Chains A and B, each alone.
Chain A
């Protein structure tokens, strides 16, 4: 097992280098002259040169790339062009706001969709199943912007059930601002998640152990909730772990609309201001988190399922 974990970790190194290379190509080379952009529209040539030295853009390419890799590994991404704060401090201050939105959203979504999918799988092949399938696909056919806009407009603005947007840094006061965003977050992933779990459960229904359980005379309910749910744990774990990077970096659109001062909202501001260092930092952090949780998923997979070959 230890060998497996070490091998799997070593495999991350070339991918990390790849991430560094692609973000470097996109942000440092192709994205215009970063020094000129940082200096603003009315900067003199001397000022641009100064900034170039400041940002370390005057060295040869391999030195620049080395600095880029160093930034990625030490999580020290310099300062934002727009707010002039260090990006690492912006990230630490935004992380709790993001997670108080995404963690409840993830938990509620999983519980609701697993329950719904079990229910639908129970009636597989019937008209109810087919209708649910179409409803799920219909839910997926709206743009996420429409859910957010319409939710905010009808429930907060028109009905006045929730505040339209805003934030309270205290742990008690923030929930009144979070209920509607969480509700919308659940709606956004409802259709896709139910479809996914329905397929998982129906796949399980075709397995031999279900036939054995049936022939033993077990009731449908026992088979559903005891046998199938337990065997479906592996895909559920995989889904939840795969969602973790997004739990940490927050939801770009929802945070932007509800002015939640999390990492998603921060990224949205950065895109609006063409704040390259912040976009670059979030891109790299997102990639690294994805990689790390992929590793966690693989290890969990090997722990949970003894059939997974540990080589």
Chain B
């Protein structure tokens, strides 16, 4: 290795060398170098800003304005993506649909990550009976067809935005739980955890304060993966009539409306929802990929 002959000045002037750099800083440097990842990140930020501004009513506050004389106007300067059945501006509805998708994505995946992390951590850390019980539970959930499980949850809870988040959150945690469990099994007997135990740290403290920061990159990667799944599930559930309350702008509802409209030549509803969804999901997909490469130590140097 060259590094052994290198002095401190050289290391400082050569950021390519990995000299005691933290995982997070290292990941930041890797992602910063990856143009695709940077573009994806700013695309996601753009969507966030768009949602924030439209929710505050700063832009596109005309999304609910009904004018029956404007039914199905094709795209024009006034309406970039035309109008829908009720004469509402399709672009404005697509922009407001972003909020629904982001809420479902963040809240649904957030719930899934919380359940998966806590169950996976307890399962892997304690082992024994606790482990058996949790493994049995997630194996069972995993066995049931995902979409039918979500459908069943939606039926029980009744269609609303909250239901969507809960249905996705309560079903999408299994994969993450498995991964976290495997990590905790690896970590629980390592020296630093035993050191913490010797200092009198409680189980909860060891699980959440000592081990969790060391596996948190997996939470981040799986969050990003799960987000894409949640946004896609929202569209499918809306198509099945189990989505948001009627009247709430959502890409799923727009795509669902398109199934009749298309055959009347109205393609702009589908086009707007597809394009908005495509760029958000693609950005997340590409960013997840970069994140995984940057944070997963096993893939490093490959």
- Which A residues are closer than 8 A to B by beta carbons? 14-15, 18-19, 21-23, 26-27, 30-32, 133-134, 137-138, 140-146, 149-150, 153, 157, 206, 245, 249, 252-253, 257, 267-268, 271-272, 274, 276, 279, 282-283, 286-287, 290-291, 294
Known pairs A15-B140, A142-B278, A153-B262. 20 more at Cβ < 8 A?
Answer: A15-B139, A22-B141, A22-B144, A26-B156, A31-B152, A137-B282, A137-B286, A142-B281, A143-B255, A143-B274, A145-B239, A145-B255, A157-B262, A253-B236, A267-B148, A271-B241, A279-B152, A282-B145, A290-B143, A291-B143
Q: Report if A149-B236 is in contact (Cβ < 8 Å); known contacts: A27-B152, A30-B156.
A: no
Complex alpha-carbon distance, A137 and B283, angstroms: 9
CB–CB B282/A141 < 8 A: yes
Residues on the B chain within 8 Å of A30, using CB: 156
Q: List 21 A-B contacts (CB under 8 A).
A: A15-B143, A18-B136, A22-B140, A134-B36, A138-B278, A140-B228, A140-B281, A141-B228, A141-B278, A145-B255, A146-B255, A157-B262, A249-B145, A271-B151, A271-B240, A272-B240, A276-B155, A279-B151, A279-B152, A286-B148, A287-B145
Mark each residue of chain B from 261 to 302: 1 if its CB lies under 8 Å from any CB of chain A, else 0: 011000100100010011001100110010000000000001
Cα distance A30–B149 in the bound complex, in angstroms: 13
**Which 3 A-B pairs have CB atoms at the shortest separation, nearest pair first?**
A18-B140, A286-B145, A141-B282
- Consensus secondary structure, chain A interface: helix
Which of these, A19, A249, A274, A294, contacts B144 with CB under 8 Å? A19
Give complex CA distance A58, B205 in Å: 49
Contacts of B168 in A (CB 8 A): none
User: Of all chain A residues, which has the CB nearest B239?
Assistant: A145
CB-based contact B139/A143 at 8 Å: no
Complex CA distance for A274 and B232, rounded to whole angstroms = 22
Distance of A281 Cα from B259 Cα, bound (Å): 28
CB neighbours of A252 from chain B (8 A): 147
Q: Tell me if A145 and B302 are in contact (CB < 8 A).
A: no
A144 B236 Cβ-Cβ under 8 A: yes
Check A19 against B143 for contact (C-beta < 8 Å).
yes
Report the separation of the CA atoms of residues A4 and B130 in the bound assembly, to the nearest whole angstrom: 25
| Docked-complex contact A283 and B274, CB < 8 angstroms | no
| Pairwise interchain contact A272-B143, C-beta atoms closer than 8 A | no
Residues of A within 8 A of B259 (CB): 149, 257
In the complex, chain B residues whose CB is within 8 Å of the CB of A134: 36, 286
In the bound complex, residues from chain B placing their C-beta under 8 Å from that of A137 are 282, 285-286, 289
CA distance A286 to B277 in the complex (A): 30
